[in-house]
């Protein structure tokens, strides 16, 4: 699954309404803030200007910016040392589309935006199919990091902990910032997420463009742009991880159902 570009179609949930509110981000438009001010990089260059410390100075202003403006700022400041974490859920459908629109409009045009996925070896078949459709639709390079632990018996403790975290560390090695699909309403553990934050553990910037989006906002955007998305969402899976430890459920209640666990270690 390494092919890029193409014009794949969207899956089942089509024919919905236009995007409004937080998700008003379609088309190839300039990156401007909520007050009309340009939110591109400051004009400084070099590691100090583009690094995590300088980025945090602008974080407060970005809290009121739209998702696509936050992404445009991130690309202008960090690309190509910027990467999107992808698990092929509906939030990534939105983010891949926005990144593609920005790249097509001249932002990061020389090299495609980067993304990575962590392959545990126990992903749903539907997730693998969604992966293929993403690569057909979006001109974004998807890097693959293995967390399958070949030769060892599968266990939730290893797969949803040390193996995934080790893969994440490898994926983030050498980057200045990473993008996630975290939304505040997904879980109490994510309620305080900011659109631009500092990943203290790694000393880099963590960007959550959809932090203030609702479930409704996400689906409006997916429908309006006829984006490919994981069909498991249509079967009651609000959050999708590995097949052995994911069940249907709202929010993240289907992840590790019956356990106190709500995070696999990637965002803690």
Write down the number of H helices and E strands in the chain. 9, 6
**Alpha helix segments (H runs only) across 79-214:** 90-104, 125-137, 156-157, 164-172
The burial of 219, by beta-carbon neighbours within 10 Å (0-12 exposed, 13-18 middle, 19 or more buried), is given as: buried
**Alpha helix segments (H runs only) across 84-124:** 90-104
Please give the backbone phi and psi of residue 174, each rounded to the nearest 5 degrees, phi first. Answer: 85, 5
Query: What is the per-residue pLDDT across 215-254, written as a single tens digit (0 to 9) for each?
Result: 999 999 999 999 999 999 999 888 888 887 887 766 555 5
- Distance, in Å, from the CA atom of 120 to the CA atom of 164, rounded to the nearest integer, reads 8
Question: What pLDDT, on the 0 to 100 scale, is given for residue 56?
Answer: 67
Residues ≥6 apart with Cβ < 8 Å to 31: 38, 39, 40, 68, 69, 72, 73, 76, 102, 107
- Distance, in Å, from the CA atom of 169 to the CA atom of 202, rounded to the nearest integer, reads 9
Indicate whether 6 pLDDT > 70.
Answer: no
Nearest Cα to Cα of residue 93 among 215, 221, 7: 221
Question: And the tokens for 134?
Answer: 């993403």
Indicate whether 88 pLDDT > 90.
Answer: yes
Question: What pLDDT, on the 0 to 100 scale, is given for residue 61?
Answer: 85
**Domains of the chain with bracketed CATH:** 64-245 (3.40.50.620)
Report yes or no: 227 and 97 within 8 Å, Cβ to Cβ: yes
Nearest Cα to Cα of residue 139 among 122, 166, 114: 114
Question: And the tokens for 45?
Answer: 């260059």
Q: Highest mean pLDDT range out of 39-43, 112-116, 163-167?
A: 112-116
| Catalytic annotation, residues | 264
Question: What pLDDT, on the 0 to 100 scale, is given for residue 172?
Answer: 96
The CA–CA distances, whole Å, from 39 to 69, 77, 179, 248 equal 7, 10, 17, 39
Question: How many C-beta neighbours within 10 Å does residue 79 have?
Answer: 23
């Amino acid at each position: 699954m390494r092919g890029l570009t193409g014009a794949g179609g969207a899956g089942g949930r089509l024919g919905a309404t236009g995007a409004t509110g937080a998700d008003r981000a379609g088309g190839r438009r300039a990156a401007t803030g909520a007050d009309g001010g340009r939110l591109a990089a400051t004009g400084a260059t070099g590691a100090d200007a583009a690094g995590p410390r300088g980025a945090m100075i602008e974080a407060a202003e970005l809290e009121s910016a739209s998702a696509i403006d936050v992404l445009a700022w991130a690309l202008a400041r960090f690309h190509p040392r910027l990467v999107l974490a992808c698990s092929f859920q509906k939030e990534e459908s939105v983010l891949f589309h926005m990144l593609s629109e920005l790249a097509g409009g001249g932002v990061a045009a020389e090299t495609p935006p980067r993304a990575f996925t962590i392959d545990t070896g126990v992903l749903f078949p539907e997730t693998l199919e969604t992966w293929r459709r993403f690569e057909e639709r979006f001109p974004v390079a998807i890097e693959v990091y293995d967390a399958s632990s070949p030769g060892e018996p599968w266990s939730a403790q290893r797969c949803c902990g040390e193996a995934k975290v080790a893969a994440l560390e490898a994926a983030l090695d050498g980057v200045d910032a990473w993008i996630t699909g975290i939304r505040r309403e997904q879980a109490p553990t994510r309620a305080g997420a900011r659109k631009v934050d500092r990943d203290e553990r790694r000393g880099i910037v963590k960007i959550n463009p959809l932090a203030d989006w609702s479930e409704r906002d996400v689906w409006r955007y997916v429908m309006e742009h006829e984006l490919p998305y994981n069909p498991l969402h249509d079967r009651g899976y609000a959050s999708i991880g590995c097949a052995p430890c994911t069940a249907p459920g709202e929010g993240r209640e289907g992840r590790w159902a019956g356990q106190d666990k709500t995070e696999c270690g990637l965002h803690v």
